[in-house]
Structure 1
Amino acid sequence: MLATEPLPVGRADIETAYDRICGHVRQTPVISPGRGSFGLDLDLTLKLECLQHTGSFKPRGAFNSLMAANVPEAGVAAASGGNHGAAVAFAAARLGHRATIFVPEISSPVKIEKIRQAGAEVHIGGARYADAAEACAQFRAQTGAIDIHPYDTPTTIAGQGTVGLEWETEAPDLDTVLVAVGGGGLIAGVATWYQDRVKIVAVEPERSCCLKAAREAGRPVDVEVDGVAADSLGAKRVGDLVYRQAAAYVDEAVVVPDSAIESAEARLWRDLAIATEAGGATALAALLSGAYRPGPTERVGVLVCGANVDLTRLATLTP
């Protein structure tokens, strides 16, 4: 699809973001597990953003947002299911800023510990992300700390879009890329980088699918949030800016059940010794479940976007 009006983020913004943050984030690898891997007869590669600092793609947007902002003495505050909070805490510490992170009770202890290890102050409360966001907003109003939004600002989208910029240099001949969606900053950024040159497929859990709901309604709408990937992909509503970018550049959107996500986690661990959280395995689940069926000669790239999993849980999963 083509944009009909100027969009908040363009490819030049992603290039600027990459120049800004490249000394602070890792260039994560692309691997080719081989035709027949996971029982799939296709030309498949995996972009291992799970090897990024703090175990997810989130530091890209966090560094870009912080480095583009005037940060006050009160520092930064963020609400998060876990990965965004760890990224903001990590980036703030590297740049010499205070960070206060608000997380809901459903957040993984693994992710909460990562936030603490980065030196941030952590507040745990509320059943869902929306509760943590409300507490964070109250804190910012009282202290003057600035917000680092997890997905719906131009600097966040452009920062996450650097994944696409890297990916194209590492695997320049892809026909299609599959990207998991929570609030949508990652898919918006990656799709903006590739635009109409590569097919962009958004993948969401069936029980947390705000982009699917927005596409059906023609605008962002609230959805119920639940399921195995809720702590990383459980946004109640897709971002307004995200929706505009995705409406312009995302070609297809599919949903997958929790069982397929857990099977993808188990296959990545069993077959490749790659430990991923549920959100990190969601894009691969679209292939394993048949939610997305590529053509026989289609060259497909899958983004493995998060590694913050409790290994004791991972050991209980079966392909």
Structure 2
Amino acid sequence: MSTRIAFIGLGVMGYPMAGHLQRAGHPVTVYNRTTAKAEQWAAEYGGHHAATPAEAARNADLIMICVGNDDDLRAVVSGEHGALKGATPGSLLVDHTTASAKVARELAEAAQAHGCGFMDAPVSGGQQGAEQGSLTIMCGGTEQEFQRARPLLAHYARAVTLMGPSGAGQLTKMVNQICVGAVVQGLAEGMAFAENAGLDVQRVIDVISQGAASSWQMVNRHRTMIADEYEHGFAVDWMRKDLDICLAEARHNGSDLPLTEMVNDFYRDVQAMGGGRWDTSSLLRRMQAQRKPADKQA
């Protein structure tokens, strides 16, 4: 049976995610801050677009959200023209934004006050995963909310898991970003070392990707890194936002994250190089720009 869906936020992730739902036979109404993007989506997929989040949410069974940060999320959910202004009691809001656990809990309470459900459901897999329908989704909410949303999320995810109550999805996404940042820096260091040692970097990756050093980042990003191309994934500006969230939560729960702090500083260097919109693998370009002269041994 079809489910009436509102989808709020049509960035590089939300655009294809909403498209998967429409193509699966669910009537989707979208909202995007830039109206032209919403019009383009409706023309491509055959759905509808609305002038405000409240209008998009009207009569929707599920309200999906994928925006930029905590402030954007608050605005489209509980702002003057936010989704809760138009949501029907009994509807469920599912938030795919990578945001703080605090705002997830805050908006879950706000939704409950309107007679609606709310589940934080940040995703991993990047633009490629959104387009291919192969995302990993980490959910925070009740079992009932999870089971209600799960069949819809399966249209663009290969793994959908309930991690705990409100905020647990966001906390799990923080773990993901902490691990990703460290892996990308390690890959950048290894590739820079191979380059400086005069090795064939592609051949090196071909060998070590078959062993314990392999990672998603190595397999999927090494070729573009070798080619010095950094327009193929999650932007540095967004990674900085995510790592700031991780570090703030770490201060709250008493975690020591020295490597995450260091990688966050390295991404700050990339931003200073003008690379805020480069993808996160651009840590290699930073290392190449800061290469030190080799020691000459007698």
TM-score over 0.5 for the pair:
no
Which TM class, normalised by the smaller chain length?
0.3 to 0.5
Question: By percentage of residues, which structure has more helix?
Answer: 2
TM-score, with length taken from structure 2: 0.36
Of the two structures, which has the highest relative contact order with CA contacts closer than 8 Å and spacing of 6 or more? 1
TM-score, with length taken from structure 1: 0.34
